[in-house]
Structure 1
Amino acid sequence: MNKYYQDFLIRTWQKGDRDAAAAVIAEVLAEYNLSWEPLGADRDVLAVEESYFQRDGEFWVVEQNGKIVGTGAYYPVNRGKNGVEIRKMYLLPTVRGKGLGRYLLQELEAAIATRGYKEIWLETASVLKEAVKLYESSGYQPATGVETKRCDRVYLKTLLNE
């Protein structure tokens, strides 16, 4: 999968991306005083093959000039009705404010819809104010059932695909 947005390339994660993708996520978490948890909530980033590809999910990276500057992913979950969870949607501060986050979210939603899923779940933390604003303005509704320690918000969006 290759998609372009302005001067960004959004593509499927490859084995050589592991360290750079993990570094982007760790950097953004640190920016908001949230902890990188390689043995917990972030273990999936270090085991993308098992956590995403072997579970019918996808993990994407965002490149600018050959450097990974963002990530976005999803996989099926046992939550709701035929649902997936969007995970690891992070962008470095230098690439924010260009509409890239909204574009990435819309592309994830489109990929999820083409696979016939009905519900999209996601968890986030209130301190990630830009993310909360993006999700709420994109039709995500507050839900309950936080499963990740550093998160305090759960959102749900029902897809109308037939």
Structure 2
Amino acid sequence: MKTYYKDFLIRDWQPGDRNPAAETISTVLAEYSIIFEPRGADIDVLEIETYYQETGGEFWVIEQEGKVVGTSGYYPVKRGEKSVEIRKMYLLPDVRGNGLGRYLLKELENAIANRGFQEIWIETASVLKEAVNLYERSGYQPTTGIETKRCDRIYIKKI
């Protein structure tokens, strides 16, 4: 994956992105008073190869002027029918509000559909208001079955 949105480069994760991606996610979580959990809910960010690449998923970083300013990814899950879960879709505060999140979600959906998946699941927290609004405006439907302790919302979209 390699694409551009305005002056942002969206590309496949590389091993050198491990710390910058984790730092980006940790920064966004702290903004919402959510603790980064390297041995819990966020272990997948430190083990991209195991959680994403080896399972048939993808993990992307978003760069602006050579700096990682966002992340996103998905991997197959056992719930549902030919399902994936979108994970770690985070953008630093200074790059929000210009359509990047909407573009990124659409690119994820296209990549997921092109791989033959039929359902997308997303877990999130109500405090992440921008994310909740984006998912709801993009056709994601509330459902049940939350698996991540810090999340209180779960959505599904059939594609």
TM-score calculated relative to the size of structure 1: 0.98
Q: Give SS of 1:40's match.
A: coil
The aligned amino acid for 2:94 is T
Q: Within 5 Å, which residues of 2 pair with 1:39-50?
A: 39-50=39-50
Q: Give SS of 1:50's match.
A: helix
Q: 1:77 matched to which residue of 2?
A: 77
Q: Within 5 Å, which residues of 2 pair with 1:27-38?
A: 27-38=27-38
* Cα drift, residue 149 of structure 1: 0.7
Distance 1:46 1:118 in 2: 27
Q: Give SS of 1:122's match.
A: strand
Distance 1:45 1:8 in 2: 21
Distance 2:53 2:3 in 1: 19
Distance 1:117 1:47 in 2: 23
* Cα drift, residue 137 of structure 1: 0.1
* Cα drift, residue 57 of structure 1: 0.4
TM-score calculated relative to the size of structure 2: 1.00
Distance 1:2 1:87 in 2: 19
Q: Can you give the 5+ residue segments of structure 1 that lack an aligned partner in the other structure? A: none
The aligned amino acid for 1:132 is V
Distance 1:2 1:156 in 2: 26
Distance 2:79 2:26 in 1: 27
* Cα drift, residue 134 of structure 1: 0.1
Structure 1 residue ranges, 4+ long, deviating more than 2 angstroms after superposition: none
Q: Give SS of 1:36's match.
A: coil
Q: 1:13 matched to which residue of 2?
A: 13
RMSD in angstroms over aligned alpha carbons? 0.3
Q: 1:25 matched to which residue of 2?
A: 25
Identity of aligned residues (%): 69
* Cα drift, residue 73 of structure 1: 0.1
Q: How many residues align?
A: 159
Q: Within 5 Å, which residues of 2 pair with 1:1-162?
A: 1-159=1-159
Distance 1:109 1:79 in 2: 18
Distance 2:150 2:65 in 1: 32
* Cα drift, residue 145 of structure 1: 0.6
Distance 2:79 2:89 in 1: 19
The aligned amino acid for 1:39 is R
Spell out, residue by residue over 1:72-124, the C-alpha distance to the aligned partner (whole angstroms, 9 max, x if none): 00000001111000000000000000100000000000000000100000100
